[in-house]
Structure 1
Amino acid sequence: MILFVAAGYWLLLWVFAPVESASRIKQNYPQIPSIETIRQLFLSNLGGVSEDAMALVAGLTIGERGLVSSDLEQQMRDLSLTHLVAVSGANLAIVLGAIYFLTASLAMSRNLRFLIALIVMGCYVLLVGPESSVIRAATMAVFVMLGLWLGRGSNPIYALSSAVLLLLIVDPGLATDVGFGLSAFATAGLVGLAPVMYQKLESRMNKVLAAGIAATSSAQIYTLPIILYLQPSLPVYSVLANLLVEVAVAPITILGLLSVLFSAVNSEFATLFSYLASLGAQWIVVVAGTLSDLPLVRMHYLPGVWGIATAVAIAIFLTLYLRGNHLQGLAKHGLAAVLIFTISWIGNDLHRRGSFAGDWQIYACDVGQGDALLLRSQGQTALIDVGPDPEEVARCLQDAQVDSIELLVLTHFDSDHVAGLSGVIDKLTGQVLVSPFRDSRSIVERSTQLIESVGINTTHAETGMQGVLGDVRWLVISPSSGARDAVDSNDASVAMVFDFGSFSLLTLGDLGEAGQLRIYRQQQSLLNQLAQRELIVKVAHHGSADQLAKFYELIRADYGLFLVGENRYGHPARRALNLIESAGMVLRTDLHGPIAIAFDGQLLYRIGGKLSA
């Protein structure tokens, strides 16, 4: 009964939670100077075989997340190993298990063992800080120990439900805390599904392997609804990755805590223990790096409510089926139906993506809220902007099968257009055009230095500049020399026309109404010519409302590309959508994922499906 009470109360809190709901426990977590001193001593004595290994030791020992490199963090995210970037409930279980065996081996009384366990647990929670999963695990452990102390045994489902209910009563903000949800759901899988799954597996394989598969799979299945809510894609190698690394977690935790204990008394021993812990952490780094380089690291899954609903259904039906109660027959048919539906969708999506790239001439990358647009002719490739994230644009180039970039255009130096530069820098082989606007932001210097590091100099793009990419002729139509008419970076965006022979492409960067008006007045003849042929326009500024209506009414584009992602700016604005819809078709990366366009007697397009991995 308490399970349903806790679940129902949690659901009500989640549904009616304020937009800015936050955990009171986290906000008011005590900052104890002596604890902070111990943490700093541990970090100052940290040693290891690599920077990433040291970062994982710090994360798994005291919950320090700031040392993990962005590359490793992305690899861990792709493989659903993020629980190893910082302390989780599993680490607390390891600590309490070690304390139990230590006190039992010393023949301590039961009451003394409970007291020591509570003291150690309290100190550990203070050491690692306000980690939702640790708070959940500690509260659950109190209920378990209370049941054992009273001689009533321990029901893990009852303990979990009681812990969740108590914490939500004390701190309703935890209802929307992702870490708390993942921890509680993973534990529910471990106590509700893992035991019966293990019973089915142990007769078919090694018992240790069966236990590992049951625990890992159960946690993954039960947390899948939350994972899909955050990122609607399946981590293909997550079970394998967790199986390979879980053997290292306990040694890292114990050795890391020994390093903490020695940090205040003997720095040499502290460094030694952290170095030994880093050997196990390096194994995790190697596994993450190896598996994340494999193809199809994440697989597309049903987006939105459908994906979450099917994940919930799979967890419920599988649990009921394996537990073998009177609902087993219904669960069997329900599970089969959901799996058939899900596998069919995934299979269709894989087929669509496998044949998606093909012979494209224009390829709009899905890089979130930012621009990255590929053009190809006669084996040569141009890239207009690189988006906000190196990983995303690199993945786009891989999907589009691009090995080299003969022309790179950075329309202006806003981060959503240039921050992904490091993801493509190794593919640059030709010319790089940039806006001539005098921009004092540090990202300009960093980007320029990165380009020059591969032996390429940047060239200021100015009106009238032209060139050839394969069979495609390109022409810069804005800004003017030195961007003297521009008032800011957006207004100085590089705008270009690409003539593919059978059709044209017009790219506008982040130009607003004023910049479009300058082109409208200065390039009237060219715009009239574009209006007479099949035309694609990369709509300015992700489809903001700052558009010149008569500009779009004149060119009457057949396709309007909106390179846009989730954002707080209201992009694309209804006004911008209406301007395109009045004459042509709207194509949006936030809805359609990557978009490939080619000409075969007429303009044809294919959508890759919303990329979420």
Structure 2
Amino acid sequence: MSGADPPPEPAPEQGPDLRLLPGALTAWTVTAATLAVPSWWRVGVAAGLVAAGASVARVGLGRRSVSGLRAALAFALAATALCLGAAGLQSLARDAGTVRSLAAAGAVVRVEGSVASDPRPLAGPTRLAGRQIVLLQLSLRAVEGRGARTAVRSRVLVFADARWAQLHRGERLRATGRLAPARPGDDVVATLSARGPPQVTGGAPAVARGTERLRAGLRRAAASLSPDPRGLLPGLVVGDTSRQPPGLVDAMRATGLTHLSAVSGTNVTIVCVLALALGRLAGLGRRSRLVAAAVVLGGFVVLARPEPSVLRAAVMGVIGLLAVAGSRRRTGVPALSTAVLVLLVVDPWLARSYGFALSVLATLGLLLLARPWTSWLSRWLPAWLAAAIAIPLAAQAVCGPVVVLLSGQVSLVAIPANALVAPLVAPATVLGLVAAVVSPASAPLAHLLAVVAGWPCSVIALVARRLAQVPGGQVDWPGGARGALTLAVGTAALVAAGPLLARHARRRPVAATGGLAVALALVLPVPGPSAWPPPGWVLVVCDVGQGDALVLSTAPGRAVLVDAGPAPDDVDRCLTRLGVRSLDAVVLTHFHADHVDGLPGALRGRRVGAVLTTIVDDPPERARAVGAWCAEAGVVVRSTRAGESVRTGTLTWQVLWPGRVIHEGSVPNNSSAVLRVQSRGLSLLLAGDIEPEAARVIAVRLGALPQPGVDVLKVAHHGSAKQDPGLLALARPRLALISVGAGNDYGHPADSTLRLLGGLGAVIARTDLLGDLAVVAGASGPALATSGPRSHTSSSSSGSSTAR
């Protein structure tokens, strides 16, 4: 061979190392599935898995391919055993003592402990019985109840009033309240309904006091900003979401920007990059820069509160940084797998956290998809634009199934929203962080920095609000596990077939475009004449037979439920068809079985802000059943009475009744909670089961309002003959809805009631004849759509009309 040898060709880049990923996912899944089982069972299974893993490791299986499979199986068994054992041992330690038995008995106790989380307003209506309700966690050190005082190490979730809102994390206190059992698998042993204010017995540790001073300084610096940046900046920088407007929260949820409304891995990545850059400018070596970044990250975690969500964000942010900038691509997935296992061992209850799932999956998307997709897009686009598209696209593709579980929707605007705001996050985070740090020394400088940081926050909020209003920006998708699995399989198939489809698209662009259109037509649900629910629905009266269950929409996937009908499956089915995943509140007008016995179905698999009841616990056995169901679900129960006004989402309601107990007629019926509701320009009167004695009092209160007439009336007591003509004439509804069972033996609705409503010019709709009744805000008033009666058809058939 003459001349110099040609230089060797560079070795092809190896793909990511996926060997630890199946084991980590297996351990995660098993931990989540077993959180509610007895602790001893988990410890025993963990011991059995250790033995099985050791046996697999000892078996000699010869060939290398089989050896790799053996190693993966042994690792999966060991990882699952580690997580199960940690969860079981932590549960045994947490349950030790008397808290669980006292909670099972519903005992009133006196507790001592320290504040373990910042107080936050109750989701949904924030004023119940005239008081603001806040939630916080306490780490108990002692509990006194049933004549005995014992030392404990348990955590409880506290429902308290506004007098608890000024507490700070780490403060020690004494308090009195009633214990109730937590839901199986919760990260607390019990719930505590506080009675009276807390008695603070000791201040927070020095570090906690110092960080609170910085957080308060940032809030003061941003106080003069407009509402959106005033609420968003503290959330983005230090995780303080207390001032975020509800409308902004909803808009960011609809556009896939919720990770920016609180501390997330994005913030952690920015802090680490800033620390490394400053270290480089200071001339530090690589190892010194890493140490400095670790110290800065530790300080940031303390500032943002070392809660599970922040620790999770810190771990995922560091791994995300390695994913985007990493020169060692193969180490990313093993690092993520190890981080998942470490976090689950430290806090096993993360296994059921949607936030944890979204963080892990988004990071996995960055590790597996962001770089190759950026490289592919760079063939046609500038590198910066390719990355701006590929990174949010990779995260959204992997997180989509979990988002569907939460909202029942797929956001088509999430990718452009994230791409548009991506350049704004870093300046807002850095400026806000500096403002917090300098606030104790110079309030004017902190204010100036907050004002400048408010500019990108304002743009982020503007993008969220505008894109949330784009028609078709959120596409309804089948909810539950089936919908999530369908989306996951479809996404995986599309990602796997992506390279082949890309080559085909370059060769035959017209055919590829047509194929994409056909695929979208097959996959995306298109509203048609039989779609349910109708777009823009305000109220749905569920066909639950002889009973009441009314659903008021407050936001996509959210609602307020008024009564729950007689059967759990019926109301659950109705809420599922409506795509309701979260109930801001449940209002039980009174305790008759046909209004409350379906409550377990409404609570099933949904987040519930609160359950509001009438002031009269009659019948007492149904009231006790409601209390037990809510205690099991970990939902607070409060009574509601005349004079209260509540706003949640697009909904405002005023409680007209009960104001007192009326002993004439049926006491439970005449104690029904009666609501006057405003939503999307419509007024509604929901009359429970009131009879003439209460109706006459309510008529006086309704007549005192500037506009006593309503667009829609839910007719009282299933249209019985016991109506007050004066109240009906005053309300003069355009649309009268009657929830009634087909062929009932009560004679509901009464002919006299139908004649009275017809004489007032109301359009009458009945669930026994038409099935579910949906009210939509039409251009000229309330429009009615129906699903078709359950007893006459197995599939819904919609019709519509407009009330005049």
TM-score bracket relative to the smaller structure: 0.5 to 0.7
Aligned to 1:14: 32
Alignment RMSD: 5.9
Q: For the Cα contact (< 8 Å) 1:364–1:595, is it kept in 2?
A: no
Measured against aligned partners, the alpha-carbon deviations of 1:414-464 in whole angstroms (never above 9, x if no partner) come to 6999856884779xxxxx996686499xxx99987989x999999999759
SS in structure 1 of the partner of residue 283 of structure 2? coil
SS in structure 1 of the partner of residue 410 of structure 2? strand
1:387 to 527, 531, 552: 552
Shift of 1:176: 1.0
TM-score by length of 1: 0.62
**Structure 1 residues 45, 16: closer, same or farther in 2, change over 3 A?**
same
Q: Does 2:279 match 1:89?
A: no
SS in structure 1 of the partner of residue 527 of structure 2? helix
Q: For the Cα contact (< 8 Å) 1:42–1:259, is it kept in 2?
A: yes
Aligned to 1:513: none
Q: For the Cα contact (< 8 Å) 1:236–1:298, is it kept in 2?
A: yes
Shift of 1:354: 7.1
Aligned to 1:346: 524
Which of the pair is proportionally richer in helix?
Answer: 1
Q: Does 2:359 match 1:183?
A: yes
**Structure 1 residues 525, 194: closer, same or farther in 2, change over 3 A?**
closer
Shift of 1:139: 3.3
Q: For the Cα contact (< 8 Å) 2:721–2:750, is it kept in 1?
A: no
C-alpha distance in 1, partners of 2:320/2:531? Answer: 50
Unaligned runs of 5+ in 1: 329-335, 374-385, 395-399, 401-409, 427-431, 484-491, 510-515, 539-556, 564-593
C-alpha distance in 2, partners of 1:344/1:458? Answer: 40
**Structure 1 residues 123, 445: closer, same or farther in 2, change over 3 A?**
farther
Q: Does 2:786 match 1:596?
A: yes
Q: Does 2:428 match 1:252?
A: yes
C-alpha distance in 1, partners of 2:321/2:796? Answer: 59
**Structure 1 residues 102, 75: closer, same or farther in 2, change over 3 A?**
same
SS in structure 2 of the partner of residue 58 of structure 1? helix
**Structure 1 residues 558, 11: closer, same or farther in 2, change over 3 A?**
same
C-alpha distance in 2, partners of 1:193/1:56? Answer: 30
Shift of 1:94: 0.4
Amino acid at match of 1:11: T
State how 1:130-529 maps to structure 2 within 5 Å.
Answer: 130=306, 132=308, 134-139=310-315, 155-322=331-498, 343-347=521-525, 349-352=526-529, 364=541, 387=552, 389=554, 423=650, 438=660, 463=692, 506-507=738-739, 526=752
Aligned to 1:571: none
Q: For the Cα contact (< 8 Å) 1:436–1:462, is it kept in 2?
A: no
C-alpha distance in 2, partners of 1:79/1:58? Answer: 20
SS in structure 2 of the partner of residue 389 of structure 1? strand
Measured against aligned partners, the alpha-carbon deviations of 1:47-92 in whole angstroms (never above 9, x if no partner) come to 4531111111000110001111111111111111111110101100
C-alpha distance in 2, partners of 1:456/1:228? Answer: 31
Measured against aligned partners, the alpha-carbon deviations of 1:458-493 in whole angstroms (never above 9, x if no partner) come to 999975999x999x9x9975766699xxxxxxxx99
C-alpha distance in 2, partners of 1:141/1:469? Answer: 52
Shift of 1:299: 0.8
Q: Does 2:21 match 1:3?
A: yes
Shift of 1:220: 0.5
C-alpha distance in 2, partners of 1:47/1:304? Answer: 41
Q: For the Cα contact (< 8 Å) 1:6–1:164, is it kept in 2?
A: yes
Amino acid at match of 1:14: A
Aligned residues: 481
C-alpha distance in 2, partners of 1:338/1:423? Answer: 36
Shift of 1:110: 2.2
**Structure 1 residues 342, 129: closer, same or farther in 2, change over 3 A?**
farther
Q: For the Cα contact (< 8 Å) 2:658–2:673, is it kept in 1?
A: no
SS in structure 2 of the partner of residue 387 of structure 1? strand
Measured against aligned partners, the alpha-carbon deviations of 1:374-401 in whole angstroms (never above 9, x if no partner) come to xxxxxxxxxxxx837377689xxxxx9x
1:44 to 203, 211, 220: 220
**Structure 1 residues 79, 142: closer, same or farther in 2, change over 3 A?**
closer
**Structure 1 residues 353, 605: closer, same or farther in 2, change over 3 A?**
closer
Shift of 1:278: 0.7
C-alpha distance in 1, partners of 2:335/2:343? Answer: 12
**Structure 1 residues 101, 607: closer, same or farther in 2, change over 3 A?**
farther
Q: For the Cα contact (< 8 Å) 1:365–1:372, is it kept in 2?
A: yes
Q: Which has the higher contact order (CA 8 A, sep 6+)?
A: 1
Aligned to 1:489: none
Q: Which moved more, 1:134-143 or 1:272-281?
A: 134-143
C-alpha distance in 1, partners of 2:518/2:419? Answer: 27
**Structure 1 residues 170, 355: closer, same or farther in 2, change over 3 A?**
closer
Measured against aligned partners, the alpha-carbon deviations of 1:569-597 in whole angstroms (never above 9, x if no partner) come to xxxxxxxxxxxxxxxxxxxxxxxxx9526
Shift of 1:132: 4.5
SS in structure 2 of the partner of residue 259 of structure 1? helix
Amino acid at match of 2:312: R
Percent identical pairs in the alignment equals 26
C-alpha distance in 1, partners of 2:647/2:555? Answer: 4
SS in structure 2 of the partner of residue 180 of structure 1? helix
Q: Does 2:297 match 1:107?
A: no
State how 1:73-84 maps to structure 2 within 5 Å.
Answer: 73-84=249-260
Q: For the Cα contact (< 8 Å) 1:463–1:480, is it kept in 2?
A: yes
SS in structure 2 of the partner of residue 49 of structure 1? coil
